[in-house]
Structure 1
């Protein structure tokens, strides 16, 4: 066997389209560029001089130790309060004393300027503050949740969100967002699955890189760009039982092959900051883990940005059981590689004592401060600390709404469509809209700014359907509540369905049931919603189920009785309009599932990229890996998604059927080509997906690994040959070596190309 020390991650691989939101993207994708100063091996590479180094050194030389420690402190502000409001006196005092580096949860041009003025004009050195905010999938203009965006299989969806969000946020005085979240997870019970991109590291890496670049642009000081934050470092998505903040125990191989790739892609894309995660890894909390924060992130990858703690994460080293008190928590976090402390105050409280006692070196403090100051210089805060109040964006623009609407429709997944029930013609006659989310604005999803939710609620499905059929008869009956057992409204919903030519049953999860601290042990439809679907099915009238949710759901109890199911996720501010666009055929759905849908909670974890066993599933053999009471596999596999037209993907062909290991080491590649044809009556989008499987390796490999995807638009009868390039990054894997050994071996690699992770088109490449 032959080893290859890993050098970089090809985040978008030869796959991810990066053209306009409604475009098809180039047929041949490009590799991601390396960041300056990136490591070329397991050890640290010398940091290249930066444009602000002299200014940072000069400022450091003037700072007292107290002022340096102050730069490491981030304190929270309260929404909708200005100077002198509740909870602000401590922040203002720290800013005035020069003992504050950053404030989170603050926005608004007037508010941020007032606080910034205190720091710049009243503190001794006038160091500006860095303002951060959770801008996760929109500021005023709420886009679909990130999990939905991943379903678009087009990184431009995430990039457009970031561009709009950055412009709105920066005009409101925000410099820094705590996004994107790139935690790969196999755990749909975990509420924060809504905030990430699903179960695959390759897809997540492509979206992470695209969103980082779009938030930050080519110039962080620009009036429409903000600093991004890659979170949560690392393996947060592996939380046991899907319970937030829970323990993770993971091997080195799985850490590097599954959880780390999106973060490496973000670093390669130039991400400005990284956030530590809440979880332990092998018993070591992330905030006290020098192995991940320093050895891998800062040394092996040469990340020269800033690491911020999560909310109270340093203080929580005490209940984790690794720190006895605040002083020890500060020492562990600083030595591990945390540069800025969010909310808790252990570093600023105990830092001077720790330096005096030799438990923390002032050199380490200077390193942390330098990282923070470099970011402030890059953002242009020393030159322009204030935002132009006359240019503050206070509401979504028509262009931003149009982008959100397009993104939402592009992210929807048609799970089922028997006998062409969808799309609905404008002449269908009377339409019934039933279900708790038919006339609800609770479609924005988790992590939405409270003022945005109050001022700019989602367009409802009912309003959008009425607008789509002007002059038509549209009747609404709720039927049941989103939660609770009351079924007294079902008869009215049934009556509405009986009198209609088509019924839309809009069901799902309230936004509060997904996101942080929102784990569920049962991921079926809450309350009596399944009973509503069953009652509508018994009418025998045509209907379609629209799901609005923040995670995969178990849908097996009613799925067979529903002729059509559209997965709309939590679609954002233009939710109703985007859903109507798809239901009435204005948009032909082309999204694919970025995560597997389990048949039952008892199957979890179930994901397409699982390792095989010595006794793989065999329905005719009792002693193989399976459940006695469930069919094999998920309800819907990763990559699944239908269209109002049909597609045929031809067999994949290789540019050569063998390649030497040495050639791969030298950057050699193999091209894989497949032709996709629209065989149906409508224009539509297909996502061509490429998977690899190493038949025999030093470590048991996943049965399939996504290594290429391309979303293409085809007219009826149209064809396109899609080409992918596979190289060392795609054909090798990390071993258990703690220094990041990346292994390439001779052997047979099966390559699958098709429309989901169950693709059948196959060819074989020999690595010699």
Structure 2
């Protein structure tokens, strides 16, 4: 349809029809089978509302959606099709590593490919819009939703934000196998006070603009069709009714022209925030902030018609919002083909196909981060090896938001290991449950584990200890339960469950050669594990092909190359902990522990256990001193910064060379260092290669005291190394 045809359509629609285009309901209102991702509640929808709703959430399956769409269009007054939306986060039925794991690849182009495959599987299943990517900046590991983000660094997040949007949408969302992307959660959702989900966010305007907003803008600049509001407040005002945030920042400054959707019942939650007195006032605030779609509160359907007729809300405002919704449907081509790519035969051909599984395996192994290795990895086939732990024979490797994936699609670590090992050299023991009887995950409809009797618990433990004692090496598969991270899973204790730690301690008592494979959706406190284990491999929640990928790495078939996208704290008392913090007037100086009057803890280190950008390899890389093409530059000039990187080890490997910059003195305090670029380089043993970065004035810009995004003359330090702690540096002066 042309723009004028859309305008004419809106003019011909009744007010009731227009307002209900702004309503999103769960697909169970049209079919009994559905996937629910939010708290179901009585919302007071009428049959008339549902018959004219603009979109549905939770449906999947080509046959089912085509029938829903066909039935809906027949009774809709203007035969306007529904938009079908779903949370397709890190894959559809083929599940990839969680987004935090994808961040560890430092390979945005890979995530672009993953999003493209996820879009393809979702599209043939009838989905039009995915609620991804989540680009919230995350610094606090207590917050369960860090698993959905790509880490603590604004630059890295921007790279992945752009890549994922492009992967989902391509160049034109009307093309086959494309879905509309939704950048979320706008804005600052990743910084809840105390790491507690849905909690207040306290960020200065300077901090939110410089650190938190860039990744949203990157996704919008990449063409994201939709943005979702966040649950939190900004400057004391809930984001969903925050006119400064949605009108000035999102619409005016960022130039976003697409659809703005509330998160689940977020319009209603403004009442509970204490910002709106009732549902009517919430409707006014959300509409005036420009929220186009009300997800599952029914407030718009209940009140906007009366508000327009009472001349409290201008009908032109409603028309603008409805236009954006219809424009998205038009961009997807739904007026010509309301089913788009839904195709039962293509579902059978594409979902979980060999190509998609191979990509899942590649992504998983690239996401793994080798945190420690005292020479015990890779494994040796001739070694007598015991695989011990609750993740040895476990198919729940998909992550909390991978509800479309099925455990039966997943290979277990035991199954993958059997393919590689000599059968008479290995033994496999569960050792304990993932959680143990002392932990109950409340509020989950999904069953976590069956309770294990004390007798069986002891038997499993003794079997594991005996197996460990008789083996040369133990591989322990430990970690969080998949439902311990994700939405509404804030934790003050970020260690692995107690029952697993007891197993680990007992095994270490009888065998000092322990390798830990760590499954998690967040950085964990692993001090004891790191201290006692000979090797630690962080594998996140790795997805459908995770176990095969783990054996690729353990066996040495693939050399690990992942880097931490988020710092692992020494303990929970440090969080939020992140590399690009500000210095203080009394910074802690290494070696001066007796100087009491410094910004430091008395009982723990300041530094995280493992920093941002960190990750080992089976080989060793050396990085030469930083070489700059000149020591001064002017605003329109460039500087080349280079190093020679050499593979000093005996095997082929890949290193991520990272460029950081520090602004020594400025009109506002600057971070200790900031990631500005990175390059992955693969080298054979003994091979050297120059890695060169171009530094422009744009890399030196920040939000100055004037409130402008600009650079300031002065001294800059350039660091190039293999993680954020590198001190390998050189400096230059920026002149006016």
TM-score by length of 1: 0.89
One of 387, 393, 404 as aligned partner of 1:433 = 387
Distance 2:266 2:531 in 1: 46
One of 98, 103, 109 as aligned partner of 2:56:
103
Contact 2:100–2:149 (8 Å) recurs in 1: yes
2:367 is matched with which residue: 411, 418, 441? 411
Match of 1:514 in 2: 485
- Residue of structure 2 aligned with 1:74, choices 9, 24, 30: 24
- The yes-or-no answer on 1:466 pairing with 2:418 is yes
How far is the alpha carbon of 1:79 from its aligned partner?
11
Q: What is the rounded CA distance, in whole Å, between the counterparts of 1:359 and 1:727 in structure 2?
A: 50
1:424 and 2:379 are equivalent in the alignment: yes
Residues 1:762 and 2:729 aligned together: yes
Q: Is the 8 A contact 1:307 1:339 kept in 2?
A: yes
Q: Which residue of 2 aligns with 1:630?
A: 604
Distance 2:29 2:69 in 1: 16
Q: Is the 8 A contact 1:497 1:541 kept in 2?
A: no
The CA deviation string for residues 466-493 of structure 1, in whole angstroms up to 9 with x for no partner, is 1112544321122222123666233321
Q: Distance in 2 between matches of 1:94 and 1:466?
A: 58
CA distance in 1, matches of 2:567, 2:530: 16
1:279 matched to which residue of 2?
Answer: 232
Question: How far, CA to CA, are the matches of 1:669 and 1:78 in structure 2?
Answer: 57
Moved more, 721-730 or 630-639: 721-730
Q: 2:533 maps to which residue?
A: 562
Partner SS, residue 249 of structure 2: helix
Q: Residue 95 and residue 287 in structure 1: after superposition, are their counterparts in 2 closer, same or farther (change >3 A)? A: closer
Q: Comparing 219-228 with 236-245, which one deviates more in the overlay?
A: 219-228
In 2, the alpha carbon distance for the partners of 1:595 and 1:348 equals 42
2:248 maps to which residue?
295
Q: Is the 8 A contact 2:19 2:304 kept in 1?
A: yes
Say what the alpha-carbon RMSD is for the aligned residues: 2.1
Q: Distance in 2 between matches of 1:372 and 1:752?
A: 47
| 1:616-655 CA-partner distances (Å, limit 9, x unpaired) | 0024211101111112301000000000001011222223
Shift in Å, 1:121? 2.4
For 2:140 and 2:35, the matched residues in 1 are separated by 41
Residue matched to 1:27: none
Quick check: 1:54 aligned with 2:4? yes
> 1:640 matched to which residue of 2?
614
Aligned residue number for residue 204 of structure 1: 157
Deviations 1:281-338 (A, max 9, x none): 1211000111111101111111111100000000111101111111110110111121
How far apart are residue 157 of structure 1 and its match? Answer: 2.6
Any conservation in 2 of the 1:501–1:541 contact (CA below 8 Å)? no
Return 5+ residue gaps in structure 1 as ranges.
1-50
Q: Which residue of 1 aligns with 2:521?
A: 550
Partner residue in 2 for 1:732: 701
Contact residue 79 and residue 105 of structure 1 kept, 8 A: no
Question: Secondary structure in 1 aligned to 2:669?
Answer: coil
- Using the alignment, how far apart are the partners of 1:281 and 1:722 within structure 2? 41
Q: Within 1, Cα distance between the matches of 2:131 and 2:66? A: 21
- Find 2:432's aligned residue among 480, 490, 504: 480
Structure 2 equivalent of residue 13 of structure 1 = none
**For residues 536-588 of structure 1, what are the alpha-carbon distances to aligned partners after superposition, in whole Å with 9 as ceiling and x for unaligned?**
22223422011000000001123211110000111001111111111111110
Instruction: Find the aligned partners of 2:61 and 2:318 in 1 and give their Cα distance.
Output: 32
Is the CA contact (8 Å cut-off) linking 2:44 and 2:298 kept in structure 1?
Answer: no
Give me the TM-score of the superposition, normalised by structure 2. Answer: 0.93
2:333 to 380, 388, 391: 380
Partner of 2:167: 214
Whether the aligned pair in 2 keeps the contact of 1:252 and 1:736 (CA below 8 Å) is: no
Out of 98, 101, 115, which is 1:148 matched to? 101
Distance 1:459 1:103 in 2: 33
Deviations 1:164-222 (A, max 9, x none): 11000000100000000001011100000001011111111101100000100112112
Measured in 2, the distance between the counterparts of 1:742 and 1:80 equals 49
Q: Write the distance in 2 (CA, Å) between the matches of 1:599 and 1:186.
A: 14
Quote how far apart the aligned CAs of 1:145 are.
Answer: 0.4
| Separation in 1, partners of 2:540, 2:669 | 34
- The alignment partner of 2:498 has SS state of coil
Residue 597 of structure 1: which of 544, 551, 568 is its match? 568
Question: What SS is found at the alignment partner of 2:644?
Answer: strand
Query: Offset at 1:59?
Result: 1.5
Partners in 1 of 2:6 and 2:679 — Cα distance?
44
More deviation, 72-81/375-384 = 72-81
CA separation of 1:586 and 1:94: change in aligned 2, threshold 3 A: farther
Structure 2 CA distance for partners of 1:163 and 1:80, relative to 1, 3 Å: farther
Describe the shift of the 1:52–1:446 C-alpha distance in structure 2 as closer, same or farther (beyond 3 A).
farther
SS in 2 for 1:676: strand
More moved, 383-392 vs 690-699: 383-392
Match of 1:695 in 2: 664
Secondary structure (helix, strand or coil) at the match of 1:720 reads strand
Query: What secondary structure, in the 3-state scheme, does the structure 2 residue paired with 1:538 have?
Result: helix
Q: Is the 8 A contact 2:660 2:676 kept in 1?
A: yes
Is the 8 Å Cα contact of residues 686 and 713 (structure 1) preserved in structure 2? yes
Q: Secondary structure at the match of 2:510?
A: coil
Gaps of at least 5 residues in structure 2 are 439-453
Give, in whole Å, the separation in 2 of the partners of 1:580 and 1:278. Answer: 40
Contact residue 479 and residue 490 of structure 1 kept, 8 A: yes
Query: Displacement of 1:502 after TM fit?
Result: 2.2
Identify the residue that residue 679 of structure 1 maps to in structure 2. 648
By relative contact order (CA 8 Å, sep 6+), the higher-ranking structure is 1
Worse-superposed segment, 541-550 or 507-516: 541-550
State the distance in 2 between where 1:248 and 1:506 align: 36
Structure-2 change in CA distance of 1:766 and 1:354 (3 Å): same
Q: Are the equivalent residues in 1 in contact too, given 2:43–2:298 (CA < 8 A)?
A: no
Within a 5 Å distance, the mapping from 1:161-200 to structure 2 comes to: 161-200=114-153
1:313 aligns with 2:266: yes
- Shifted more, 153-162 versus 186-195: the winner is 153-162
Provide the rounded CA distance (Å) in 2 between the counterparts of 1:373 and 1:651. 57
1:15 alignment partner in structure 2 = none
**1:416 alignment partner, SS class:** strand
**Does the 8 Å contact 1:52/1:374 carry over to 2?**
no
Residue in 1 that maps onto 2:14: 64
Partner Cα distance (2:435, 2:35) in 1: 37
- Tell me by how many angstroms 1:758 deviates: 0.6
494-503 vs 364-373, which moves further = 494-503
Deviation for aligned residue 1:534: 2.1
Give the conservation status (yes or no) of the 8 Å contact 1:96–1:122. no
Report the equivalent of 1:717. Answer: 686
The answer to whether the 8 A contact 1:466-1:472 is kept is: no
For 1:317 and 1:91, how far apart are their aligned partners in 2? 19
Moved more, 239-248 or 712-721: 712-721
Give the length in aligned residue pairs.
Answer: 706
Q: CA deviation at 1:223?
A: 2.3
Pair 1:54–1:583, CA change in 2 (3 A): same
Q: Does 1:224 align with 2:177?
A: yes
Greater shift after overlay, 123-132 or 77-86? 77-86
Cα distance in 1 for partners of 2:424, 2:333 equals 55
Q: Return the match for 1:396 from 352, 365, 383.
A: 352
Tell me how far 1:92 sits from its aligned partner.
10
CA distance in 2, matches of 1:144, 1:431: 27
**Structure 1 residue 326 corresponds to structure 2 residue 279:** yes
Tell me, yes or no, if structure 1 residue 443 matches structure 2 residue 397: yes
